[in-house]
Each structure stands twice: as structure tokens, then as C-alpha cells.
């Protein structure tokens, strides 16, 4: 027999539920205020100090800022292409097939999320470095990865891909396979079914994962500095440039910080608009 408290008693339960929420409301408001202040005050302080800094406007157009911004945008875009091309079919496989091996792989995919970035950089150096596991083979082909722009892309893909694959897997898992089977029984090819049915339904999850992956790639620091170094115009992305600028030019450091903040806000705003439009057309 199911306990009475699990069955509920209609309106009375609703009243008690509202009462319990009312009792917790002050704590919720206090926690919200504390969190907003904790997150908001550093951002306000950053913007206020940037507005007061004499070299801020000059820093926005400085050579250090422009080089770091250009390199960050190019490498993050290339990284996202790699993540989408490789991660989409991989996530679809994880969502559609069930096996012990895939469950292990599914868990392994999320390892870079919890792995310290510096450890990831050292690991890639041990794998792809000159004296690494694949170093001699790559050297024989005339390929050198460490301390190159390609190493920046490697580091970004390593740390960012799990965010996209995880979200894409959840999105694909939310598509009812029955609809796909019906589509194929009507003569629609599996490829056409994917583009016309599976992808549109899973699109919000894919878009969210892509945004999170891009943000993680843009903010990557530890793995990049270990595997790619901090070479101006070659491997110095915006987070690395901020560290360098803090030693000599606070204006440039603030300019880079504000640019990264603006990019993050714009990415979240664009994601919100796209998801709202997707929901309205669904």
C-alpha cells in the first residue's frame, strides 16, 4: 500500500506546500542577495577600475591586445569546428548505443572537466612533445606541436570538447527513437532523418553545449601555457596576455579583461535569444 503522505490530499497539500515555500522564502532571498553581490561586486569593481585607468582606452587598441584577441578568436573558432565535427557523431553514438565499453568511455569523456588544466598540459606534452610518446614519430614526419599555434588548438579541444559532447549526448538522448524509426519506414534515409528530425529536436542542447565549449576554450590558461607556451603573436591567447600585461601595463590587462567579459556576456545573451527563438518555433 502506498503511504498516504505520498498520495497527497489535493488542495490541502498545495496549501502546505505554499506554506513551506513561504517559510523558506527569507532564506532564499538572503542567499540570492549574497550570491549576486559575490558575483557582481568583482565585475563592477573591474569595470569601475577600467573606466578610471588612464591607459585603458589606449590598451583596447594596443598591439598586445589586438594580437591576443586575434589569436584567441581564430584558435577558438578552429577548435569549435573540430569539436563539432568529431563530437556530434560521437555524442550520437553514446546516446543511441548501450554497452559496458561505451559506459566506460562516456565516463572517461568527462575526465578533462575535473582534471586540473595544468595536468592536462603536462599530459599532452608527454604525449606529443619531442620526447613524448608520439614525439619521435611526429618528428620523423617533420611535425612539431609543442609551443606552436596548433598546440593552442590541441589544448582548447582537450578541455572544451567534453562540454559539447555531454550536452549533445543529452540532447540526442531526448529524441524519441520511435520517430526516427517511423521516418525511415516512410522511405527517408538515415542521413536525411538526422538532418530533418534528430538535429532540430536536439538543437537547443547542441547550441548550449557549443556555447559552453567555446567559452571554456576562450578562457583556457593552464593547459595552454604548459603545452603551447606564452609566445606573443603565436601562442599568447587573451588569458595568457592578461598575466603578461599585469607585470607591465595594468591598462592593457584591464582592457583584455573587459574584452573577455564582454565576449562572455555577448555569448550568453546570444544563446538566450537563440534558445528563445528555438522554443517559440518548436
Residue (of 52, 51, 70, 63) closest to 248 by Cα position? 63
Rounded-to-integer distance, Cα 239 and Cα 85, Å: 26
Rounded-to-integer distance, Cα 159 and Cα 56, Å: 31
CA-only gyration radius of the chain, Å: 24
The torsion angles phi and psi of 91, rounded to 5 degrees, stand at -65, -35
Rounded-to-integer distance, Cα 218 and Cα 72, Å: 6
Instruction: Give the per-residue pLDDT at 196.
Output: 86
Helix, strand and coil content of the chain, in percent to the nearest 5, comes to 80, 0, 20
Rounded-to-integer distance, Cα 148 and Cα 72, Å: 13
Joined grid coordinates for residue 260 = 573577455
Joined grid coordinates for residue 243 = 598575466
Residue (of 159, 161, 124) closest to 145 by Cα position? 124
- CATH code of 56-281, in short, is 1.10.3720.10
Instruction: Give the per-residue pLDDT at 177.
Output: 83
pLDDT tens for the chain, residues 1 to 282: 445 444 445 555 555 555 555 666 788 888 888 999 999 999 999 889 888 877 677 777 778 888 999 999 999 999 999 999 999 999 999 988 888 888 888 888 889 999 999 999 999 999 998 888 998 898 888 888 999 999 999 999 999 999 999 999 999 998 888 888 888 788 888 888 888 888 888 999 999 999 999 999 999 999 999 999 999 889 999 999 999 888 887 888 888 899 999 999 999 898 888 888 776 444
Amino acid at each position: 500500500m502506498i503511504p498516504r503522505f505520498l498520495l497527497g490530499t489535493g488542495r490541502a497539500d498545495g496549501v502546505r506546500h505554499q506554506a513551506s515555500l513561504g517559510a523558506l522564502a527569507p532564506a532564499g532571498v538572503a542567499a540570492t542577495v549574497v550570491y549576486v553581490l559575490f558575483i557582481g561586486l568583482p565585475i563592477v569593481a573591474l569595470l569601475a577600475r577600467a573606466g578610471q585607468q588612464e591607459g585603458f582606452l589606449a590598451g583596447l587598441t594596443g598591439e598586445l591586445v589586438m594580437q591576443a584577441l586575434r589569436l584567441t578568436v581564430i584558435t577558438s573558432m578552429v577548435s569549435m569546428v573540430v569539436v563539432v565535427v568529431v563530437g556530434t557523431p560521437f555524442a550520437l553514438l553514446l546516446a543511441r548505443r548501450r554497452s559496458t565499453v561505451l559506459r566506460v568511455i562516456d565516463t572517461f569523456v568527462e575526465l578533462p572537466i575535473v582534471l586540473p588544466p595544468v595536468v592536462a598540459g603536462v599530459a599532452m606534452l608527454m604525449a606529443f612533445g619531442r620526447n613524448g610518446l608520439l614525439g619521435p614519430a611526429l618528428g620523423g614526419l617533420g611535425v612539431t606541436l609543442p609551443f606552436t599555434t596548433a598546440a593552442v588548438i590541441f589544448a582548447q579541444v582537450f578541455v572544451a570538447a567534453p562540454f559539447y559532447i555531454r550536452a549533445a549526448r543529452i540532447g540526442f538522448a531526448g529524441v524519441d527513437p520511435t520517430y526516427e524509426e517511423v521516418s525511415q519506414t516512410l522511405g527517408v534515409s538515415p542521413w536525411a532523418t538526422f538532418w530533418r528530425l534528430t538535429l532540430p529536436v536536439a538543437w537547443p542542447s547542441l547550441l548550449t553545449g557549443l556555447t559552453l565549449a567555446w567559452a571554456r576554450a576562450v578562457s583556457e590558461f593552464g593547459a595552454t601555457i604548459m603545452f603551447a607556451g606564452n609566445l606573443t603573436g603565436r601562442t599568447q591567447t587573451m588569458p595568457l596576455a592578461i598575466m603578461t600585461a599585469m607585470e607591465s601595463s595594468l591598462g592593457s590587462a584591464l582592457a583584455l579583461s573587459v574584452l573577455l567579459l564582454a565576449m562572455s556576456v555577448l555569448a550568453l545573451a546570444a544563446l538566450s535569444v537563440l534558445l528563445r527563438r528555438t522554443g517559440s518555433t518548436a
